[in-house]
A and B are shown apart, each in its own frame.
Chain A
C-alpha cells in the first residue's frame, strides 16, 4: 500500500512496527485515516510550548526612555499590561492594580536581542560534555537543529538575563559550511527548550564562510574557499530538486510522497523563504561571493554575522538589504579578523545598511548595551556621527528584524511585546547595570530582589547566590 511506504518515519512508524506482515495496518489506538496523517513532514515539528507568565500591569515613571522607534524621551513613562506595551509618553494613568516603579534618573530600553549566541549549545562549565554546538562530522549538516542541543540549565542563561537580554538566537557553530537550524528563544527559566521557543519566529539557517570550514575539513575537503563555494552550491542544487519533488506532491498529495531528507527539507525551506539565512562571513569579498550565490539559488541572505569587513562593502549591503551583525571591536585573532576597525558598525549605519551588534560570547551577551555604546563612541570620535536612537536599534529593533520577529518585539511601541529593561543609568555607559528585566511582561530579573534572580540546576550547591550578578 502506498501509505505503508510513507510510514518509515516518526512515531507512527514505531507504533506500526508490531503489525509488520499484516494486511492493512490497524493499531486501534491511532488509526490512519488518510495518507497525509502518516507523513511526519506534515506534522507540527517540536512546537513551542511557551506560555507567558502572569504579571500585574507595570508603570515605570519618570525615566529616560529609548523606544528604538523614535526620539529619546526624558521624563517619560511606560505602561505595559498582559505582556504588551500599552503606552509610552507623558501623563499615562496607571490601572489600579498596576505596580509603579520609580524610574527617576534611570533609563528604559527594549529588551536586548542577541542575534548570535551559543548559550545552551556551548554551555558552562565548558567541558566536552556540554560541547554541543558543532556537528563537525560533515561540511553540510543542514539536518541538525540547535534546539536539539540546547540545555535549558546552562548557568550562562541567568547571567545573560541579568544583562538585559530577553531574546536570543541560539546557533550551531561555524565548523560547517551549513551548520544547521537555529532556535529563536525567549530567555526565561525553563525545563525544556520548547518552553523557550519564540512563538511564530521563523527558523534560521547557520552558514559559515572562510577559515573555519576549510580548516576543519582540510583533509577531506573543502580545504579552500573555492571548495567552500562548491560545497554550498552542491547542497542547494540538491535542495532545488527536493523542493520541486515535494512541491509537486504537495499540490495534490497523490501517490507516494518523496522520501524525506532532513538536510534537504531545511534547505528547501530556505529556498521557499521560510527559513532565514544567517551567514558567518568575515571578509568583504566573501560576503559578495555569498550574495552572488544567494542570487544563483533565489534566496535572500538575511544577515552576515561576524561581518568584520562589512565597512568595506557597507554600500553593497545597504543596496542588497542584507544586515551586518558585528562585534564592537574584536580584532586580529585570525587572518579574516585582522582588518577589524572599531568604526565598523558606525560606517555600516552611515551607509544605510541594517546594523547589529552581536555577542557570539557568553560574556559579551551580558554587555551588549556597552558594546553598542563603545561602537557608537568610535563613530562619533571619527566623524561618523551616530545618534543614541540609532545605537539602541543595533541591539533591539535590528536584530528583531534579522530574526523575523520585528512585528512582535524589538521596540517599545503600543501593541509590541513587553520586553523591557530598566537600567540604573545611561545604557551606553560602562557604569550602568540592568536593574529590572521584563520578558513578555514578566519580571524575570530584579537586581534588588533575590526572589527575581533565577538560578539554574547547575548553580545549586555549586555557586553562591549572586555569583556573577
Chain B
C-alpha cells in the first residue's frame, strides 16, 4: 500500500492530459474536475520574478536545518536552497535574519474553501445528500473568496486537502493552494483522494451495523471492478444490475486501481482493522483519518505503510474511540507510521502549526511534527515531487516566521505561494484595525 514518491501533481496533470474523451463522457459529473486538472500544469507558474530569502535558519524538512541559509526562487519554483548561495543581481531579497524559514504548511484534512459560516447552509458545499457519492468532486464548490482562506493562510497554511464529509462515501477530495481568484488557479490535484467514512456516522448506510457497512462497500467495490472488466456487456445491457450507477462505479476506478489514495475515516481500533482488511482485499492506497485508537495498532500500520491523519488535540473518550489520548501521534510516529497532523478545534485551520506543537508536547520530535504538516502529507497524497519541502524544483510555497512556528509567540511574516508574496491581511485583521481604537471611526474604516 505504500506509495513511492514521484506521483506528483505533474502526474495528476499528465493523467488529465491523457484523459480520454470516453472517460469524460462516461463520468459526466467528473468533467468539471477533469477540466481543472487539465488547467493545473499552467496554473502553477508564479510571477516571473526572482526572490532570495536570505540569512534565516532554513528548515527544508527534507534535510537538516541550514543556518544563514538562502532559498532562491524563480518563476514560482524553488531553484536553490542552502548556505552561501549567490543571489542573482536584480533578485528581490527578503532579509530573514533571525527568522525561521519553512515550507508552506499543508493541511491534510480540511474543508477550506468549502465552508464559511458553519451554521449557515448557504455557505457549506462539502456534503452531498445520500450515502454513496464517489462521483462527487468538491472542486467547484470551493469559493476562492471565502474569508476563511486568508485566515488559514496567515497561519502559514499554503496548501490544503479540501475534503467532502457525510454519508458512507462522501466523495472526492481535492488539493488546493490557498491563493487565486478561481478554482482553476488554486487546484493542485483533483481529484486527490476518495473519502470513505468507516465510523459511527456511516452505520445507517449499512443497515445500522458496521458489518453491514463493510458488506455494502465490498458489494460496491466488486461491482465497480466487474463494471470495469465488462463495460461492453454493461452497455449491451448484458450485466446484472449493479450496486450503484455507472458514474459512481467509474469514479471508484482510480481508487481500486491504486492510482488514487483512499482516505478512510476510522477511529475505533476495530474500524481501523476493518479499513486495513478492506485495503488488503482491494489493494487500496489507504490513508487512515481520525485514527483515535490507531496507537493500539501502531506496529501494524507501520508495517503496512499506512499514513494516519491525527488530530493531536483530542483525548475525550467516546464510543467511536474510547482510547483517545494526546500522545497518539507520538506513539504512531515512534513506531514508524507516517503521521499527518490535522487540527479539530473551533479556532480553525490557522491553528494547524500549534496542533503540531501539541504533538511535540506529548512526545513527537520537533522535526517529525514539522514534517507532519509539510512533507508527510505531500507524500501521503502523492504531491511530494512538487510540495512539502524546500528543495530545488519544488513549488515555491515558503513561509518566513518570526520564531518557532510550532509555538504561540511566533507569526508568519512572509508568505509565498507559487512564488507570489501574499498580503498579510484577512477579514479579521481588518476588523481589528477598525476597532483597535474606540469608539470606532466608521467613516474611515
> Are B408 and A159 in touch, CB under 8 angstroms?
no
- Given known A-B contacts A312-B435, A330-B347, A331-B347, A370 and B408 have beta carbons under 8 A apart: yes
Instruction: State in angstroms the CA–CA spacing of A376 and B116 once bound together.
Output: 26
Contact of B148 among A125, A156, A332, A464 (CB under 8 A): A332
Which residue of B has the minimal Cβ distance to A127? B319
By DSSP majority rule, is chain A's interface helix, strand, loop, or mixed?
loop
Instruction: State in angstroms the CA–CA spacing of A196 and B40 once bound together.
Output: 60
A60 near B: Cβ within 8 Å?
no
A178 near B: Cβ within 8 Å?
no
- Given known A-B contacts A334-B119, A430-B361, A430-B408, A341 and B323 have beta carbons under 8 A apart: no
Shortest beta-carbon distance from A287 to chain B in Å: 14
A124 near B: Cβ within 8 Å?
yes
> Are B319 and A125 in touch, CB under 8 angstroms?
yes
- Given known A-B contacts A331-B346, A341-B431, A347-B436, A159 and B361 have beta carbons under 8 A apart: no
Q: A8: which B residues are within 8 A, CB to CB? A: none
> Are A373 and B408 in touch, CB under 8 angstroms?
yes
A311, A383, A433, most chain B CB atoms within 10 A: A311
Contact of A329 among B119, B326, B350, B440 (CB under 8 A): B350
Which residue of B has the minimal Cβ distance to A431? B361
B322 near A: Cβ within 8 Å?
yes
A239 near B: Cβ within 8 Å?
no
Q: A361: which B residues are within 8 A, CB to CB? A: 345-346
A428 near B: Cβ within 8 Å?
yes
Q: A211: which B residues are within 8 A, CB to CB? A: 119
Q: B61: which A residues are within 8 A, CB to CB? A: none
B window 238-281: CB within 8 A of A: none
Interface 1/0 per residue, B316-327 and A, CB below 8 Å: 111100111110
Interface 1/0 per residue, A458-469 and B, CB below 8 Å: 110011101111
A window 87-145: CB within 8 A of B: 124-127
Interface 1/0 per residue, A364-405 and B, CB below 8 Å: 101100100110110011111000000000000000000000
Instruction: State in angstroms the CA–CA spacing of A374 and B345 once bound together.
Output: 14
> Are A364 and B345 in touch, CB under 8 angstroms?
yes
A432 near B: Cβ within 8 Å?
yes
Instruction: State in angstroms the CA–CA spacing of A331 and B440 once bound together.
Output: 21
B315 near A: Cβ within 8 Å?
yes
- Given known A-B contacts A125-B318, A364-B345, A370-B408, A311 and B435 have beta carbons under 8 A apart: yes
A326 near B: Cβ within 8 Å?
no
A65 near B: Cβ within 8 Å?
no
Interface 1/0 per residue, B119-150 and A, CB below 8 Å: 11000000000000000000000000000100
A window 319-350: CB within 8 A of B: 327-335, 338-343, 347
- Given known A-B contacts A125-B319, A363-B345, A430 and B432 have beta carbons under 8 A apart: no
> Are A430 and B357 in touch, CB under 8 angstroms?
yes
A362 near B: Cβ within 8 Å?
yes
Shortest beta-carbon distance from A55 to chain B in Å: 27
Q: A340: which B residues are within 8 A, CB to CB? A: 428
A270 near B: Cβ within 8 Å?
no
> Are B440 and A312 in touch, CB under 8 angstroms?
yes
Shortest beta-carbon distance from A214 to chain B in Å: 12
Shortest beta-carbon distance from A372 to chain B in Å: 9
Q: B120: which A residues are within 8 A, CB to CB? A: 334-335
Which residue of A has the minimal Cβ distance to B311? A363
Instruction: State in angstroms the CA–CA spacing of A313 and B440 once bound together.
Output: 9
Q: How large is the interface on A (under 10, 10 to 19, 20 to 34, 35 or more residues)?
A: 35 or more
Shortest beta-carbon distance from A163 to chain B in Å: 10
Q: A41: which B residues are within 8 A, CB to CB? A: none
Contact of B358 among A362, A381, A430 (CB under 8 A): A430
Instruction: State in angstroms the CA–CA spacing of A383 and B117 once bound together.
Output: 29
A351 near B: Cβ within 8 Å?
yes
B322, B323, B408, most chain A CB atoms within 10 A: B408
Q: B350: which A residues are within 8 A, CB to CB? A: 329
Instruction: State in angstroms the CA–CA spacing of A124 and B314 once bound together.
Output: 13
Which residue of A has the minimal Cβ distance to B116? A332
- Given known A-B contacts A333-B117, A343-B432, A364-B345, A124 and B323 have beta carbons under 8 A apart: no
Q: A124: which B residues are within 8 A, CB to CB? A: 316-318
Shortest beta-carbon distance from A149 to chain B in Å: 18
Shortest beta-carbon distance from A373 to chain B in Å: 5
Number of interface residues of B (CB under 8 A): 46
A155 near B: Cβ within 8 Å?
yes
Shortest beta-carbon distance from A343 to chain B in Å: 5
Q: A311: which B residues are within 8 A, CB to CB? A: 432, 435
B118 near A: Cβ within 8 Å?
yes
Which residue of A has the minimal Cβ distance to B357? A430
Q: A334: which B residues are within 8 A, CB to CB? A: 117-120
B411 near A: Cβ within 8 Å?
yes
By DSSP majority rule, is chain B's interface helix, strand, loop, or mixed?
loop
Instruction: State in angstroms the CA–CA spacing of A362 and B316 once bound together.
Output: 7
Instruction: State in angstroms the CA–CA spacing of A124 and B316 once bound together.
Output: 7
Q: How many A-B residue pairs have CB under 8 A?
A: 141
Contact of B411 among A156, A363, A381, A433 (CB under 8 A): A381
> Are B117 and A351 in touch, CB under 8 angstroms?
no
Q: A366: which B residues are within 8 A, CB to CB? A: 315
- Given known A-B contacts A430-B361, A462-B317, A377 and B408 have beta carbons under 8 A apart: yes
B348 near A: Cβ within 8 Å?
yes
> Are B317 and A125 in touch, CB under 8 angstroms?
yes
Q: B44: which A residues are within 8 A, CB to CB? A: none
Q: B347: which A residues are within 8 A, CB to CB? A: 327-331
B407 near A: Cβ within 8 Å?
yes
- Given known A-B contacts A328-B347, A430-B406, A431-B407, A126 and B119 have beta carbons under 8 A apart: no
Q: B358: which A residues are within 8 A, CB to CB? A: 367, 430
B28 near A: Cβ within 8 Å?
no
A286 near B: Cβ within 8 Å?
no
Shortest beta-carbon distance from A442 to chain B in Å: 24
B86 near A: Cβ within 8 Å?
no
A314 near B: Cβ within 8 Å?
yes
Shortest beta-carbon distance from A77 to chain B in Å: 26
Q: A364: which B residues are within 8 A, CB to CB? A: 345
Which residue of B has the minimal Cβ distance to A424? B361
- Given known A-B contacts A338-B117, A462-B322, A363 and B316 have beta carbons under 8 A apart: yes
Interface 1/0 per residue, B61-98 and A, CB below 8 Å: 00000000000000000000000000000000000000
Which residue of A has the minimal Cβ distance to B406? A430
A72 near B: Cβ within 8 Å?
no
Q: B325: which A residues are within 8 A, CB to CB? A: 466-469
Q: A335: which B residues are within 8 A, CB to CB? A: 117, 119-120
Shortest beta-carbon distance from A412 to chain B in Å: 23
Instruction: State in angstroms the CA–CA spacing of A468 and B314 once bound together.
Output: 8
- Given known A-B contacts A330-B346, A374-B354, A159 and B432 have beta carbons under 8 A apart: no
B window 290-327: CB within 8 A of A: 313-319, 322-326
Interface 1/0 per residue, A305-321 and B, CB below 8 Å: 00000011111000000
Q: B357: which A residues are within 8 A, CB to CB? A: 430-431
> Are A469 and B431 in touch, CB under 8 angstroms?
no
Shortest beta-carbon distance from A448 to chain B in Å: 15
Which residue of B has the minimal Cβ distance to A381? B411
B window 373-413: CB within 8 A of A: 402, 406-411
Instruction: State in angstroms the CA–CA spacing of A347 and B439 once bound together.
Output: 12
Which residue of B has the minimal Cβ distance to A366? B315
B190 near A: Cβ within 8 Å?
no
Beyond the given A335-B117, A430-B354, please list 6 additional residue pairs across the A-B interface where CB-CB is below 8 A.
A315-B439, A331-B346, A363-B315, A377-B409, A459-B317, A464-B323
Cβ-closest 7 pairs across A and B: A468-B315, A430-B357, A333-B118, A334-B119, A330-B346, A329-B347, A315-B438
